[in-house]
Structure 1
């Protein structure tokens, strides 16, 4: 556990530092235009979505520890290779390599965590990993802000190399992780069983859309809302992000303590969705209010949002662990993250259209979207529980 958690923290620190300066590095050092950057990132996102499930299968087949180490080594090399990029084609290719390696790392790390941790501890382990991810990203963001003050190309290059170095350190740490036995597909069954599991794919699509949307509420929707006349100061953006980061770090593990089994995970996901819906309604209530009242309501909404977020994320992980067959944790983790990738494509235009196009009613529509989406967890997960692949025990039925 300590090895995985420390590797997660170090990687998150490097990622947070790089993301803070990535656009400036690509425009000033690499000399890429915003259009080139957008094309490269979009190509990478598509490659990541398409590769997550097959790469998860490889992690099951050849061992998640080996594939985790391979993934972070590739990422170290790919980020370092960005120093040689000065045109669109190499950037697109490297973006695809980074996205595919990241997809492999996610699937392999999920399978590794599932393999080395007892089933009863998997959810708490995943919660610890997310808590440390948020902490590492926050510390990395602070470190990445230093080059923004210096405003020099050398500083951007240093941050990029620091990010690459964190992957090398993570690879070294992962060599100390225990081995997880290679998994074989039951005789006569399909290899990529996750792609044939329509019920699980339905859950992955639903959860991916809700997760990506709640991530964009504070990161995209609220800034647009404040910038277009919400009668509240722009510094509330930083306040809400600090509340969110602190809440995830402090509450994520605690929230996972009482969730065990599919029924409990489902209840947690439903509650989380409904609570996030309430946060949208509180933001909408701030429309047309005085600056201090609108600001107060937005801060309250940020607190409500993070309470819903930690419940929804905990429920999501619990559902994945319960529904994935023991011999296919990697590819099911991959299919789950593919749903997240699809959600990342849909959520930004959805949130933007609601906030800018419908204003106050847009927030209410987003709230209704989360409430309805949360209610769908029940029928989707019950369908998935009834249709488990061969060799996987069916969870006990529940009336909830």
Structure 2
């Protein structure tokens, strides 16, 4: 599966470079205003959430490898098409196409990675973080140049990364198409209530812990917390380094649904603890607040690694072997819903409640973490996840 990891790395590099410059490209080159950009991105997000499960089913039915390659080629064309965008409608339509193709890639690549289970998923997350980090550095060059040509080059680099990734995927062993059992529903994931509950719960928790240091901390510091703004970059460096260096190691030994539940609960507890540490930083002298924020960042990334490992383990155990694609798609749809809720939730807490908001978020994570086991037990009772079924970790 080295080809899949390399394709993921290349693709993440292109995405990282594009995300770094996308807003400036869309405003200076495409001529869109912020409201038009937000509306287009929202339309794309909705299209992605609605299409993830059906497209995951398509990946199962016709084979994830060929559909992933096809989607990557479509994405290359769609991002190149951004160079011709000059109206809000054009941008919204391309955003929807990009979101739908991305949904298919996520479901298909999840099915391709299912054979390697947690270890493969951990490696993919590691190379994704590494690629995004390198891409962010590459995207900083156009920010310094601040010319239309520089932003256009980054768009083309991102489009080319999809073509390179598609070429690399041709070397990945094919996963045969999976047939739906006779007499059963096609979109079985949408009828699997315990799994839907897990996807919604995990999507909300995951999106919220992602927003803590990406949205919550910058807003809190900008609103007058007694700590320097450079801590924003420092905490993001800690998070990226932790994900790159420790993700694979943290996935070892998590075999079976009970172990995955324990890993998820351990992770949520650490994320909650990081919120408590941030609350304790309020009102401290600058040096003390900065120290506590750095400690919180370390605790947070360790919790993130445990929680992501537990989430993947639960996902692989609850999904039938013949429906990995659509279950992966449904899982990412839950993440999409979480992405809609988490930013306003975190913003309201840290700006509206200040230090007390971090404690509210800590309580939120504790309550959410305690729900993982009841949800997976419901899956066990439904006969989809034997309690002692092991997951391969090699």
TM-score range, shorter chain: over 0.9
**Aligned-residue offset at 1:393:** 5.8
Q: How does 1:1-400 map to 2 (within 5 A)?
A: 1-114=1-114, 117=115, 121-388=116-383, 394-396=386-388
Instruction: Output the CA distance in 1 between the equivalents of 2:104 and 2:329.
Output: 8
TM-score, length-scaled by structure 1 = 0.96
Q: Could you tell me how far apart the structure 2 residues matched to 1:395 and 1:24 are?
A: 50
Query: In structure 2, how many angstroms separate the alpha carbons of the residues matched to 1:331 and 1:262?
Result: 20
Summarize the Cα distance change of 1:219–1:363 in structure 2 as closer, same or farther, 3 Å threshold. Answer: same
1:249 is paired with a residue whose SS is helix
Please give the alpha-carbon distance, in whole angstroms, between the structure 1 residues aligned to 2:259 and 2:107. Answer: 24
Q: Secondary structure at the match of 1:317?
A: helix
Distance 2:227 2:254 in 1: 38
Q: Please list the CA deviations of residues 297-348 of structure 1 after superposition, one character each: whole Å capped at 9, or x if unmatched.
A: 0000000000000000000011101110000000000000000000000000
**Cα offset, 1:122, TM superposition:** 1.2
Q: TM-score, normalised by structure 2?
A: 0.98
Distance 1:24 1:136 in 2: 21
Deviation by residue 1:62-110 (Cα, 9 ceiling, x = unmatched): 0000111011111100000000000010100000000000000000000
Return the alpha-carbon distance in structure 1 between the equivalents of residues 152 and 379 of structure 2.
47
Query: Are residues 245 and 234 of structure 1, via their aligned partners in 2, closer, same or farther at CA, if it must alter by over 3 Å?
Result: same
Tell me the distance in 2 between the aligned counterparts of 1:91 and 1:234: 33
* Contact 1:322–1:395 (CA under 8 A) maintained in structure 2: no
Q: Within 1, Cα distance between the matches of 2:140 and 2:258?
A: 43
8 Å contact kept, 2:211–2:343: yes
Q: Is the 8 A contact 2:379 2:385 kept in 1?
A: no
Q: Deviations over 1:42-65 (max 9, x none)?
A: 000000000000000000000000
Q: CA RMSD in A?
A: 1.1
SS of 1:107's equivalent?
helix
Runs in 1 of length 4+ with deviation above 6 angstroms?
none
- The answer as to whether partners of 1:111 and 1:330 remain within 8 angstroms in 2 is yes
Alpha-carbon distance, 1:179 to partner: 1.2
Task: Give SS of 2:268's match.
Answer: helix
Is 1:205–1:339's contact at 8 Å kept on the other side of the alignment?
A: yes
Q: For the Cα contact (< 8 Å) 2:317–2:385, is it kept in 1? A: no
What secondary structure, in the 3-state scheme, does the structure 2 residue paired with 1:209 have?
Answer: helix
Shift of residue 396, structure 1, vs aligned partner: 3.4
Alpha carbons of 1:26 and 1:259: their partners in 2 closer, same or farther (altered >3 Å)? same
Q: Which whole-Å CA distance do the structure 2 matches of 1:85 and 1:204 have between them? A: 35
- In structure 2, how many angstroms separate the alpha carbons of the residues matched to 1:39 and 1:393? 40
Structure 1: gaps spanning 5 or more residues? none
C-alpha separation between the residues in 2 aligned to 1:244 and 1:135? Answer: 11
Structure 2: which 5+ residue stretches go unaligned? Answer: 390-394
